[in-house]
Amino acid sequence: MYENITYEVKDGIGYLTINRPKALNALNTEVLKEIQKCLDEDIAPDDSINVVIVTGAGRAFVAGADIVEMKDATTNEGHAYTERGHKVMNTIDHMPKIFIAAVNGFALGGGCELSMACDIRLASEKAVFGQPEVGLGIIPGFGGTQRLPRLVGKGMAKYIILSATNIRADEAYRIGLVQKVVAPEELMPEAEKLAKKISSKAPIAVRQAKAAINAGLDTDLNTGSRFEIEAMTQCFASEDKTEGMTAFVEKRDPEFKNK
Ligand code: CO8
């Protein structure tokens, strides 16, 4: 059904794999269209999954937007391409499901941006992160100028973006860009372990926590606090809150119903 990505659901976890290994999974228009379709039609409406693992086929996560396609693009085409990329990244960022990037190799340009649109990044020791765009005469255009400083701070983001310096997984971990680095063969098991752990928690609470964190980082503390109060109120209105607390008191595992 898709030519440049694969999507499957196993044991209640979604697996979205960018699958264009000949071009190191570069995001051309077709790839972006397929990711968007998968997000809108396969993932968003599927109530049976709460967590999706995003990874790349072969030796790269994603080596960026497609330079071959962009090379001769007009100004208008460049604008449309940037809009398309932003829509994909924002769909991931705002969706009430949790996305874990399992970064198996190069995460450059649009690839680094795709990983940053996800909620949590796990990396193989072989992963390389970077925003090489200024060396190509453009800037990070799939959200990198906005999400990288939010994740690692203004100074480090400017260091990486303005000098187009690629960093290895251990450095990405040190600056807080990735949350855990593991051996290559441990990457998917680690991502699955995390996906299962998150999936075992109260889904409404997990969704509300993601939304509250996102909303707070886009606004001032007072407005963010109001958002948190509303999000908490939604949790108190849920059956799963009663179940979670009752299970604690009764010293048993909770059985959440996403209600
Ligand atoms: N676009 C298109 N093709 C690519 C890309 C890419 N980003 N990256 C790799 N490829 C292709 C290569 O051209 C090559 O194809 P072929 O075999 O036909 O020659 C194949 O993948 C394998 O790549 P290499 O032979 O180069 O493999 P190496 O192991 O020697 O090098 C690197 C791996 C270091 C990852 C190298 O491929 C590289 O530097 N790639 C480009 C990385 C880059 O600059 N990425 C940023 C792109 S710009 C971007 O992402 C902007 C996002 C916002 C866009 C806004 C729209 C306007």
Residues 145 and 217 in one domain: no
Tokens 């649109």 identify what position? Answer: 117
Residues 40 and 160 in one domain: yes
Residues 19 and 103 in one domain: yes
Structural domains counted in the chain: 2
Residues 222 and 99 in one domain: no
- Residues whose CB falls within 8 Å of the CB of residue 66, separated by 6 or more in sequence, listed in order: 23, 26, 27, 28, 29, 31
**What is residue 126's predicted lDDT score, i.e. its pLDDT?**
97
Ligand 1 centroid to residue 50 C-alpha, Å: 32
Residues 88 and 121 in one domain: yes
**What is residue 1's predicted lDDT score, i.e. its pLDDT?**
87
The pTM of the full predicted model, rounded to 2 decimals, is 0.98
Nearest C-alpha to atom 8 of ligand 1 is from which residue? 63
Residues 210 and 95 in one domain: no
Residues 141 and 24 in one domain: yes
In a domain? residue 167: yes
Residues 210 and 125 in one domain: no
Q: Which token pair is 184?
A: 């290559």
Q: Is 243 a catalytic residue?
A: no
Distance, CA of 38 to chain centre: 14
The whole-angstrom separation of Cα 152 and Cα 203 is 28
**What is residue 6's predicted lDDT score, i.e. its pLDDT?**
98
Yes or no: say if 99 and 52 are a contact pair by the CB < 8 Å rule.
yes
Distance, CA of 12 to chain centre: 18
Residues 62 and 155 in one domain: yes
Residues 148 and 214 in one domain: no
Residues 91 and 213 in one domain: no
Choosing from 3, 69, 113, 125, the catalytic residue is: 113
Find out whether the beta carbon of 65 lies less than 6 Å from any atom of ligand 1: yes
**What is residue 21's predicted lDDT score, i.e. its pLDDT?**
97
Beta-strand relationship, 128-130 and 167-168: antiparallel
Residues 118 and 241 in one domain: no
Residue 244 belongs to domain with CATH number: 1.10.12.10
Domain range enclosing 96: 5-199
Find out whether the beta carbon of 26 lies less than 6 Å from any atom of ligand 1: yes
Tokens 């119903």 identify what position? Answer: 257
Ligand 1 centroid to residue 257 C-alpha, Å: 44
Find out whether the beta carbon of 181 lies less than 6 Å from any atom of ligand 1: no
Find out whether the beta carbon of 108 lies less than 6 Å from any atom of ligand 1: yes
Ligand 1 centroid to residue 159 C-alpha, Å: 21
Average pLDDT per run of 10 along the chain, which is 259 residues long?
97 97 97 98 97 98 97 96 98 98 98 98 98 98 98 98 98 98 98 98 98 96 97 97 97 96
In a domain? residue 257: no
Q: Is 113 a catalytic residue?
A: yes
Ligand 1 centroid to residue 25 C-alpha, Å: 9
In a domain? residue 143: yes
DSSP 181: E
